[in-house]
Amino acid sequence: MNPTAESQHEHALEKSKFDLYVRVAMLLAVITGMEIITVYLPFPYALLFGTLVIASAVKFLFVIFIFMHLRWDRPFCTIMFFIGLILAGGTMWALLKLFSASNSLPLSSS
């Protein structure tokens, strides 16, 4: 590739990255707006809960893969972060299971 063509290619690449960041930010704002509307809809708890969890997960993944560059980085960075994430998720699941049991109710609870 000659220097002029390479420069044009780089410029196009940088512009597309800028556009991608802006589009992702707009998408995140729209999803947040939808989340806020969702909580006022007269639907069953499970459906609303599921919708909120999925929306939150989508926002989370967009930020880590696009804004935090995991999409372009070595897979080891993703593995490293997901180890922490899985351990955190497992700990949360275990704690919620353990302390949701009736015999772990605080003494002052109604």
Partner 1 sequence: MSTAGAGTIDHHLDPTTSTGIPNKKLLMWTFLASDCMFFGCLISTHLIYRLHPPPGVPSGRDVFNIELTSFSTFILLMSSLMMALAVNAIQKGNLKSLRFSLLTTIFFGSIFLGCQVYEFTHFVSEKHMTITNSIFGSTFFTLTGTHGMHVFVGVIWLTSMLIYSFTGRLTEKDAIDVEMMGLYWHFVDIVWIVIFTAVYLLEYI
φ/ψ bin of 69: left (φ > 0), alpha (ψ from -120 to 50), beta (otherwise): left
For residue 48, state whether it binds partner 1 (rule: CB under 8 A): yes
Q: Which residues form the interface with partner 1 (CB under 8 A)? A: 3, 6, 10, 14, 17-18, 21-22, 24-25, 28-29, 32, 35-36, 38-40, 45, 48-49, 52-53, 55-56, 59-60, 63-64, 66-69, 72-74, 76-77, 80-81, 83-85, 87-89, 91-92, 95-96, 99-100, 105-106, 108-110
